[in-house]
Amino acid sequence: MIGVKRPYVSSVTGGLDYLAGTRQTAPMLIYKIFRAPELLVLLETGETTGAPIDVADGYVHMSSGDQVATTLTKHFAGESDLSILAIEADRLGDDLRWEVSRGGSLFPHLYRPLRTGDVVWHKPLEAADHPSGYVPIWV
């Protein structure tokens, strides 16, 4: 019938979309890299103000998918026991600000503690032949 919206499940979002309406887009994920002790604080207490540099700067440093490899190279080269956490940017609301940082690029900064409920997924990073010691296969 003409004018009837037919629902379908999007393979990208898993959500209900309509062929005759606006399609949903996948949520934007941003990433936080933690050393094992930093991740442990988050998992044990439910929230964290981040790594020592985050505490000193007053916000939790994060990276977009395009920035993760460079962040690993610059700040985590030669380190082991690292984990990456994915966070849905839109869930953070006004507490997330995109600010100019390294090389004039906009980086996501979270101006409140990071909570376990903010994390979509996390996993350990695997060492490989990337200059930082890791391959960014998660983005």
Strand partners for 7? 18
Copy the structure tokens of residue 123: 């996993």
Domain boundaries, the chain: 27-124
**pTM for this entry:** 0.75
Task: Decide if 87 contacts 114 (C-beta within 8 A).
Answer: yes
Q: What is the distance in angstroms between the CA of the first residue and the CA of the last residue of the chain?
A: 41
Q: Which residues contact 38 (CB under 8 A, 6 or more apart)?
A: 48, 50, 51
Predicted pLDDT of residue 2: 39
From first to last of its 139 residues, what are the pLDDT tens digits of the chain?
Answer: 333 333 434 344 444 444 455 566 778 999 999 999 999 999 999 999 999 999 999 999 999 998 988 898 888 888 888 999 999 999 999 999 999 987 888 999 999 999 999 999 999 987 663 445 555 544 4
Q: Which residues contact 119 (CB under 8 A, 6 or more apart)?
A: 42, 85, 86, 87
Amino acid symbol at 117: G
Give the CATH class of 27-124.
alpha beta
Query: Measured at the alpha carbon of residue 24, what is the angle toward residues 30 and 26, in degrees to the nearest 5?
Result: 25
